[in-house]
Amino acid sequence: MADHAVSLPAGTGSIGLEASGPRGPKPRHVFSRRNIFLYGTLIVVALYYLLPLYVMVVTSLKGMPEIRLGNIFSPPLEITFEPWVKAWSSACTGLNCDGLSRGFWNSVRITVPSVILSIAIASVNGYALANWRFKGADTFFVILIVGAFIPYQVMIYPIVIILREVGLYGSLSGLVIVHSIFGMPILTLLFRNYFSSMPEELFRAARVDGAGFWGIYFRIMLPMSLPIFVVAIILQVTGIWNDFLFGVVYTRPDTYPMTVQLNNIVNSVQGVKEYNVNMAATILTGLVPLVVYFVSGKLFVRGIAAGAVKG
């Protein structure tokens, strides 16, 4: 009602007010119809987005008898951490029964070197593209960017052959190389755009002072571009940790990353389904990227925006 009373004279008298009045939005009533609609919608949608996380946590804290009787949305009557312990140390994948811990450490051993290697390559590469352009560089860059859209399935098998030829097929090093290759397009784009946006005079001054390719990179570019390195690390840690396809293709069962092992635990056909253990295992696998996401906050968003919109 209050809304009506305010908006009625607006058609006649407010134009002059708008032009000369104070800047900023019009103060509004807290419980206007607009606000109720706006916040109501947002809260309902937010609940929908939070529901799966809530159900995951709640289920993982219940015992199996309670799950069979109760409702997946109800909070646990008796909190038990046994499913978490079992998921971590003794859940079975069909091949072995030592839980997700093996996959967790495999994922760590895959993610850390992959992140370092891919960022090292791409940052130097982006720097060369931004400041030391040579003939033909842009052609390769365009191939690289367009290549990012080729479905991985097209290139999987040739890479298997190459890795087999050099004796790295099935090893963690092979997978690290694969991650570095497929991380290259987006990261190179990210770094190239960032370095291009830095003032040209800086680069010129360093050259006049006699600094060379690596000198400028390590002494000037690197210290000045820490934010973009953080963005790249966030992007790569989440991306590589969450990978499934490359893990399943390029590693053997004893070196499977966490996602592959999780899928094997939950979707294994043998035995009785233990939903609480499955959900605990699922949360454990999602924990690393979730922590990265919540800790990094705005930088995560910035990474996405920088990678996607600027392109």
Partner 1 sequence: MSKSERPNQLFRNLNAKVASIPMVLTALVIFVGGSAWTVLYSFTNSKLLPRLNFVGLDQYYRLWSTPRWLVSIENLLVYGVLSLVFSLVIGFLLAALLDQKIRFEDTFRTIFLYPFALSFIVTGLVWQWLLNPEFGIQGVVRGLGWESFNFDPLYNSDIVIYGILIAALWQGTGLIMCLMLAGLRGIDEDIWKAARVDGIPTLKTYLFIIIPMMRPVFITALVIIAAGIVKVYDLVVAQTSGGPGIASEVPAKYVYDYMFFAQNLGQGFAASTMMLLSVVVVIVPWAYLEFGGKKRG
Q: Which long-range contacts (CB under 8 A, 24 or more apart) does 246-251 make?
A: 246/152, 246/175, 246/178, 246/179, 246/182, 247/110, 247/175, 249/156, 249/160, 250/159, 250/160, 250/163, 250/169, 250/170, 250/174, 250/175, 250/178, 251/106, 251/170, 251/171, 251/172, 251/174, 251/175
Q: 131-190: which residues touch partner 1 (CB under 8 A)?
A: 132-135, 137, 140-159, 161-162, 180-181, 184, 188
| Token representation of residue 202 | 């800086």
Identify which of residues 95 and 137 has a Cβ nearer to partner 1 in the complex: 137
The distance of closest approach from Cβ of residue 141 to partner 1 in the complex, given in angstroms and rounded to an integer, is: 7
Phi and psi at residue 83, to the nearest 5°: -60, -35
Q: Is residue 36 close enough to count as binding partner 1 by CB under 8 A?
A: no
Positions in 186-245 near partner 1 (CB under 8 A): 188, 196, 212-214, 238, 241-245
Residues 118 and 233: their CA atoms lie apart, in Å, by 10
Minimum Å gap between C-beta 214 and partner 1 is 7
Among positions 42, 77, 95, 97, the unique one binding partner 1 when judged by CB under 8 A: 42
Q: Distance between alpha carbon 105 and the CA centroid of its chain, in Å?
A: 19
Mask 58-97, x = binds partner 1 (CB under 8 A)?
-x-------xx--xxx------------------------
Out of 106, 114, 125, 236, which residue is the one contacting partner 1 (CB under 8 A)? 125
> Distance between CA 113 and CA 234 in Å, rounded?
14
Q: Which of residues 249-278 bind partner 1 (CB under 8 A)?
A: 249, 259, 262-263, 266-267, 275, 278
Least distance to partner 1 from the beta carbon of 79, Å?
A: 19
Residues 275-304: x/- map of binding to partner 1 (CB under 8 A)? Answer: x--xx--x--xx--xx-xxx--xx-xx--x
